[in-house]
């Protein structure tokens, strides 16, 4: 069962169409990088998949179900763009913030119990920030905060994790360790990961699959296939194609895999 599947999906804001007939499938355990220039429709695509925007035409589904009928939101972890609360007096503690992620699967009255508390401890431990549990969100560095928000997205052990430009606010070291963490999660298997990024030069170091968008699909498949595609060589030029693919050995000459 695909985590996300879109068929001929078009989306418009008013009169302006920003996604044009997107057909794409993200299967179990795949790590997708959704890449493209600013304004190419990446955020629009994930928001439509999550039911936050309506298609103009075509369809999209989550685990085979249209977003408006989907009711298993605890299966999905979502880290939206610019999610970091930047204001220094943000009152919640790290544990409380991550605990909010447990509410998604609950019906009224929405109360956290002992197993929720242990899920919070596990998620923080997994991200190496267990020691921050009682700190206030507003006191954290950008890198710490992003790990906490990722812990919140992961607290239900989701089958689908969607991250929209999660490293924008991070310094290069935190960015690297954040990407490594995602790669590690991918190696451990299980979840489908969808990473939206404008950083086409880096994504191929970590992700297995590439969706290259520019309002339409320029490419959808593995990085390996991207590397070998004559169409992509034509589209990007051979140099840029291989800067994106990360499939080469140290000398950058031959395909490593």
Binding residues for ligand ADP, rule: CB under 6 A, are 13, 18, 36, 38-44
Query: Residue 47 corresponds to which tokens in the numbers above?
Result: 């928001």
CB of 94 to ligand ADP, least distance (A): 28
CB of 131 to ligand ADP, least distance (A): 34
CB of 215 to ligand ADP, least distance (A): 8
Question: Strands, E, within the chain: which ranges?
Answer: 4-13, 16-26, 31-35, 57-62, 76-79, 160-164, 192-197, 209-214, 216-222
Tell me how far apart the alpha carbons of residues 22 and 35 are, in angstroms, rounded to a whole number: 14
Specify the residue, 26 or 120, whose C-beta has the smaller distance to ligand ADP.
Answer: 26
Specify the residue, 156 or 197, whose C-beta has the smaller distance to ligand ADP.
Answer: 197
Specify the residue, 40 or 220, whose C-beta has the smaller distance to ligand ADP.
Answer: 40
CB of 42 to ligand ADP, least distance (A): 4
Specify the residue, 16 or 109, whose C-beta has the smaller distance to ligand ADP.
Answer: 16
Q: Is 248 helix (H, G, I), strand (E, B) or coil?
A: strand
Question: Cα 126 vs. chain centroid, distance in angstroms?
Answer: 18
CA-based nearest residue to 9, from 59, 54, 50:
59
Specify the residue, 50 or 132, whose C-beta has the smaller distance to ligand ADP.
Answer: 50
Tell me how long the chain is.
257
CB of 71 to ligand ADP, least distance (A): 26
Query: Residue 44 corresponds to which tokens in the numbers above?
Result: 């629009």
Q: Is 25 helix (H, G, I), strand (E, B) or coil?
A: strand
Angle, CA of 12, 160 and 33, to the nearest 5°: 65
Query: Residue 19 corresponds to which tokens in the numbers above?
Result: 């996604």
């Amino acid at each position: 069962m695909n985590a996300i599947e879109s068929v001929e999906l078009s989306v418009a804001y008013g009169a302006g169409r920003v996604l044009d007939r997107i057909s794409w499938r993200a299967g179990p355990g795949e790590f997708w990088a959704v890449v493209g220039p600013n304004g190419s429709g990446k955020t629009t695509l994930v928001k439509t998949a999550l039911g936050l925007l309506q298609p103009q035409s075509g369809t999209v589904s989550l685990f085979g179900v249209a977003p408006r009928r989907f009711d298993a939101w605890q299966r999905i972890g979502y880290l939206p763009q610019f999610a970091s609360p930047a204001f220094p007096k943000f009152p919640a503690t790290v544990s409380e913030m991550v605990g909010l992620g447990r509410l998604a699967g609950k019906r009224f009255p929405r109360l956290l119990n002992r197993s929720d508390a242990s899920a919070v401890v596990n998620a923080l431990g997994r991200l190496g920030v267990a020691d921050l549990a009682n700190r206030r969100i507003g006191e954290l560095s950008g890198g710490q905060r992003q790990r906490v928000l990722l812990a919140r997205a992961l607290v239900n052990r989701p089958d689908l994790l969607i991250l929209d430009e999660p490293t924008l606010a991070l310094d290069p070291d935190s960015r690297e360790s954040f990407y490594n963490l995602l790669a590690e999660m991918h190696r451990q298997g299980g979840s489908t990961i969808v990473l939206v990024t404008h950083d086409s030069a880096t994504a191929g170091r970590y992700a297995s699959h590439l969706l290259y968008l520019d309002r339409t699909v320029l490419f959808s498949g593995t990085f390996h296939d991207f590397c070998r595609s004559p169409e992509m060589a034509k589209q990007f030029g051979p140099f840029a194609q291989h800067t994106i693919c990360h499939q080469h050995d140290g000398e950058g000459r031959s395909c490593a895999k």
